[in-house]
Structure formats: C-alpha cells, structure tokens
Structure 1
C-alpha cells in the first residue's frame, strides 16, 4: 500500500476513534453511566457548559443531578461532525440536538455545537477542552408515547437511565412473541 493511502487510513482511524469518544460522552450522560462518560475526557480536561466550568468528574455530578431532577429521559444526539487532526491534537466541531422528556411530561429541545480540543495520550483520543455553543431552545408538544398500550412493548427491556437499559444486554435476544399487526383484523383475529 502506498504511503498516501496508509496516511489516509490512519487519519480515518483517528477520526473514528474521536467520534467514538464523543459518542461515549453522549451515551454515558443519557444512561447515567459515570465510567463511560468519564472515559471521553482526560482527567485534567476543562469543560465550559452553561454556567458550569470545571473538570469531567464535577461536570458529570452537576449534569447528572440536573437531568435526574429535571427529566425522565434525555437524548444527546450527535449530528454533523468536522475534525482537524494535527499530530496528537485534534479540533472537532459536532452539532448536537438535545431532547428531554421533562418530569412534568413536557418536552424540551435544544441545539448547538460541541467545540472540542482532543488530545491523543496514553494510546487514546479524549477530550482535553470542551466548550458548548448552545444556539437555540424550544418546547415540543406533548403526545402519548407510541405503542404504550401494547402489553409486551417492553418485553425486551424497558428504556432506563442505567445499565438495566436493553442496550447493555449481551447477547441481545428477542423475548417477545412473533406478531404482525398487518395480518390481524381490528378484532385481533386472523384475516
């Protein structure tokens, strides 16, 4: 393989490792998985988010308490991602969409960008500096959750903000009975 292609592959691997790091932050926050969340940051990182400025452990404590008090569910979704890598330092901009189901059953949505400096230390890319550029916020109408009336809708596990969430199950297997609503009449009898 030529040197140019090898260099491109190395950049792609670094870029994927950086994106995986950012996903660990989001998933760790949404699942209240402190260890996963902290694995996205170097221990001496500085984060500026809202009125918080400090380190990753303090950020987790502050943010998880805020989300626990305010929401029953959150999603920190990552969108457009750009990344400039120079040696052992990278600068990334990642658009995000935050959605929270509030305890009063209202819904909150906000968007912005995570602007990060990441450093490759000890064999891993992690965030060394983050600033959160919040650009907009609003409320979504509250609607009933889809399929809430299906008796076994959570037969494979109910969403939760801890390691009981189905996403942690290994191996993931289906525990629900086969059912195709298109083959049933409104009365529930076969057509």
Structure 2
C-alpha cells in the first residue's frame, strides 16, 4: 500500500474521494430505482463490467440490468467501507476502489411464497478522472456469500401503513 493510511488528507484528495463515493452511491440508486440514465452516468462510454466470465461493455449491461431488476418487487443496495487508492497521489487521474456491498432482492410470488435473496460482497472498481469528472472504467463484483430465504412483507402494519412507498423510475418519490 503506497498511501499513508491515517494521514490527514488534502482538500483535493477529499474532493476526489467524495466524487468517487458519489458515483458509487448513484450506481446503487440506479439499480434500486431501475434508472438506466443514473446507471450509465456512472461509467465512461468504453467502460466494462465483469459480472460473468468475460468482461462486457458497461452501457449495454446497464440496459439489461434495468429490465432484470424489475423482476424483483424491490431491491436495496448498501455500500460501505469505500477504500480509494490513487495511482499517483500527487496528480490523481486513476484510482482503485474497493467498496463493501450488501444487496437485498425482494421477490413477490403470486402463490404467496415471497422470498429474499441477500447478497454480500464487494465492488472492485477502476476509476478514471477526466477533467473534473470521475467515473468507473472497469467494475468487478466479488461475492462473499448469498442466502435465499422465505420472507413476508406486511406493508399494512400500523407502524408502516402511512409511510411513502418506494418505486422504480420515474415513480419513486425522488423523481417527484
């Protein structure tokens, strides 16, 4: 590790790390809201993703992901432990970023046997900075484990019935 861990960062480093974190968080919103534009803005046009054996172009992958994610009633992605390593500390133009991930996928079944797939892993991302913009140039998800379990959803419970409901693009309250 070439960077000084625990050293007070410069303002420019904090700004770069914030911009990178914003992209990682926007990607989660894009997935959970099934928002193709939000997903694509996170990747450079020639970026790739490695969700399978071979890397694939990121933008077409985003299009397919939107349709796939709509197969779930809801999803909820949470990232944490975002660690950024700049290739050149003095003039950062690329960075390796590791983010921990927990993703919940709620599936409603017509027969009432609802289930939830919980995925735990990490995103290993290569970021590039062009001008003042950071975006992902390559993403590789790494799975730690997943679990599938029967679940229920009681949205009429007195403590929950009055809450605003999440939705997909463009029906989620964030787009209102």
Match of 1:83 in 2: 84
Aligned position for 1:61: 63
Q: Which of 135, 139, 153 in structure 2 is aligned with 1:130? A: 139
SS in 2 for 1:163: coil
In structure 2, the partner of 1:120 is 129
Residues 50-91 of structure 1: per-residue CA shift (max 9 Å, x gap): 45731222111222222222x110112112110012220011
| 1:76 to 1:128, Cα distance in 2 relative to 1, 3 A | same
Q: Is the partner of 1:143 in helix, strand or coil?
A: coil
The Cα of 1:151 is off from its aligned counterpart by: 9.1
**Distance in 1 separating the partners of 2:142 and 2:63:** 21
Secondary structure at 2:48 match in 1: strand
After superposition, give the CA deviation of every residue in 1:32-64 in whole Å (9 maximum; x if it has no partner): 111111111001001101457312221112222
Instruction: Identify if the C-alpha distance between structure 1 residues 83 and 23 changes in structure 2 by more than 3 Å, giving closer, same or farther.
Output: same
The residue number in structure 2 matching 1:73 is: 74
3-state SS in 1 of match to 2:22:
helix
- Give the whole-Å Cα distance in 1 for the aligned partners of 2:172 and 2:19: 24
Aligned to 1:162: 169
Cα distance in structure 2, aligned partners of 1:149 and 1:52: 48
Measured at CA, do residues 82 and 7 of structure 1 come closer, stay the same or move farther in structure 2, by a change above 3 Å? closer
* 2:37 pairs with 1:30: no
3-state SS of paired residue (2:26): helix
Q: 1:154-176: per-residue Cα shift (whole Å, max 9, x none)?
A: 4xx4210112211233xxxxxxx
Higher relative contact order (CA 8 A, sep 6+): 2
Q: Decide which structure has the larger Cα Rg and report it.
A: 1
Structure 1 residue 7: Cα displacement = 6.7
Instruction: Give the secondary-structure state (helix, strand or coil) at the position aligned to 2:128.
Output: strand
Cα deviation for residue 148 of structure 1 reads: 4.2
Question: For structure 1, which runs of at least 5 residues remain unmatched after alignment?
Answer: 1-5, 170-191
Match of residue 153, structure 1, among 157, 162, 165: 162
